[in-house]
A = this chain, B = another copy of it.
């Protein structure tokens, strides 16, 4: 486990200059990378769902998308314990990264 991965969830989510392995959160969009910890992302998803009933997760590439979907599965079990049922709506979205257009996967997560 690296230092970045052992950061507490509170630090891992919402930091302005996140290091590798953290969850980058901007304007309610949770950006997930290959090195994001699914449980940290799940905690962030659960928090946003509790606040607003809706969350958005974006990932680019197979590794990141896999972490994102695992995070949604974990967030579901977190929220189920509180009687909250969430569903997920996947779609493609074009995002600009360093002036290059990339296709990301967007997971919209909503209370059922």
Q: A89 in the interface, Cβ–Cβ < 8 Å?
A: yes
Contact A76 B89 (CB under 8 A): yes
Q: Does A65 contact B (CB under 8 A)?
A: yes
A66→B92 CA distance, assembly (Å): 12
Nearest to A63 among chain B residues (CB) is: B62
Q: Bound complex: CA of A70 vs CA of B65, how far in Å?
A: 10
- B87 and A69 contacting across the interface, CB-CB below 8 Å: no
Q: Tell me, yes or no, whether A88 is within 8 Å of chain B by CB.
A: yes
Q: Is A72 an interface residue (CB 8 A)?
A: yes
Question: Known: A87-B89, A90-B88. Contact between A65 and B73, CB under 8 A?
Answer: no
B90, A73: Cβ atoms under 8 Å?
Answer: yes
A42-83 near B? 1/0 per residue, CB < 8 Å: 000000000000000000011101100110110010000000
Q: Is the CB of A91 within 8 A of B76?
A: yes
Which 4 residue pairs across A and B have the least CB separation, nearest first?
A62-B66, A87-B87, A73-B90, A88-B88
